[in-house]
Amino acid sequence: MVDHDRPGSVARPAGWRPDATQASLDQLDDAALAERAGAGCREAAGVLIARHQGSVRSFLRRLTPDRDLADDLAQETFLRLLRHAGRYDPRWAMKTWLLTIARRLLINHLRRADNGNGKLPAQPLPGPARTPLEQASERDQRMHTRRALERALDELNETQRQVILLFHQSEMPIGAIAEVMQMPTGTVKSHLHRARAALRRSLIQMPEIMPS
């Protein structure tokens, strides 16, 4: 049974609550917690969920504009953790393992909803920080730039788009992206380089983002 009492919370094992046992479990690393969770320790599973729920939810919200869907998939990600904690391989970082599960769940959902396409929706990349005065004077320009960037992202192939979103939006290092995407680091770097080059070419060709 999943605890849904707290708004925005991620699934915790039934009966989970902070206590002295949890305080001692907080000192354990993820691998030790996963081993205990796999053996049926609800408190250990609760500590893992509390430790990683923010990263998983944030990751999913950056990959889909549907916040309710992102939160539902975060719940499902941690239900998978509860069911399969005993299979966790400590050679993987726990965060990377969970993000891999979350990404697969999102792609599978999109495939079912879009006749097998499974294409992740484009999200605009964050721009450089602006002062309030600059934001006011450049609002229209930024709106055009955002739209152009969304179109440029949509023109990338799916692998390039996911790599560039993971790198720029989720701020994941190359090694972690390689684990999530299940490809060599050199291949990730190649996709990232090609994606950036393609974005530059697309943006240069779009007159609406050029200064008037």
**What pLDDT score was predicted for residue 179?**
81
Please tell me whether residues 110 and 126 are part of one structural domain.
Answer: no
CATH number for the domain harbouring residue 140: 1.10.10.10
176 CA to centre of own chain? 12
Domain with 180 in it: 122-212
The model carries a pTM of 0.56
Q: What are phi and psi of 111, to 5 degrees?
A: -65, -40
**What pLDDT score was predicted for residue 189?**
92
Could you say which of 67, 100, 120 is where a domain stops?
Answer: 120
Please tell me whether residues 108 and 41 are part of one structural domain.
Answer: yes
Tokens standing for residue 91: 């050679």
Q: Are 17 and 29 in contact (CB under 8 A)?
A: no
CATH number for the domain harbouring residue 57: 1.10.1740.10
**What pLDDT score was predicted for residue 177?**
85
**What pLDDT score was predicted for residue 112?**
80
**What pLDDT score was predicted for residue 18?**
47
10-residue stretch averages of pLDDT, the chain, 212 residues long = 46 50 77 90 89 88 84 92 88 84 86 63 50 54 66 81 78 82 90 88 61 37
Q: What are phi and psi of 96, to 5 degrees?
A: -65, -40
Q: What are phi and psi of 168, to 5 degrees?
A: -90, -40
**What pLDDT score was predicted for residue 75?**
92
Return d(Cα 71, Cα 170) in angstroms, integer.
16
